[in-house]
Amino acid sequence: MFLSPPAIIILGMEQTTQTTLQVSDRCDVCGAQAYIRVELELGELLFCAHHGNANKEKLAPIMTAWHDQSEELTRR
Ligand SMILES: [Zn+2]
């Protein structure tokens, strides 16, 4: 056994929060392709790179996770 049971539980929790954005996902502000997914206690928001950066400071106090996939999606 490489991992003790607590380590396995922690890894499992991280994996459940990983959702890859699709090309069909759209920015909630302007409708452009979404590159940033923001998790909040009440749900989630999708943003293009521009609006993600524009709203980052405002959302910082209430967001639980920030996923910026702009590098992954533009590498295609
Ligand atoms: Zn936008």
Separation of CA 14 and ligand 1 centre (Å): 27
Residue 3: its pLDDT value, please?
55
What's the pTM value of the predicted model, to 2 decimals?
0.69
- 55 occurs within a structural domain: yes
- 24 occurs within a structural domain: yes
Domain residues for the domain of 49 are 19-74
First to last CA, the chain: 37
- 1 occurs within a structural domain: no
**pLDDT single digits (tens) 29-64:** 999 999 999 999 989 999 999 999 999 999 999 999
CA 5 to chain centre: 27
- 30 occurs within a structural domain: yes
Separation of CA 12 and ligand 1 centre (Å): 32
Point out which residues pair with 47 in neighbouring strands: 36
- 59 occurs within a structural domain: yes
**pLDDT single digits (tens) 55-74:** 999 999 999 999 999 887 66
pLDDT at 18 over 60: no
* Counted domains in the chain: 1
Separation of CA 27 and ligand 1 centre (Å): 5
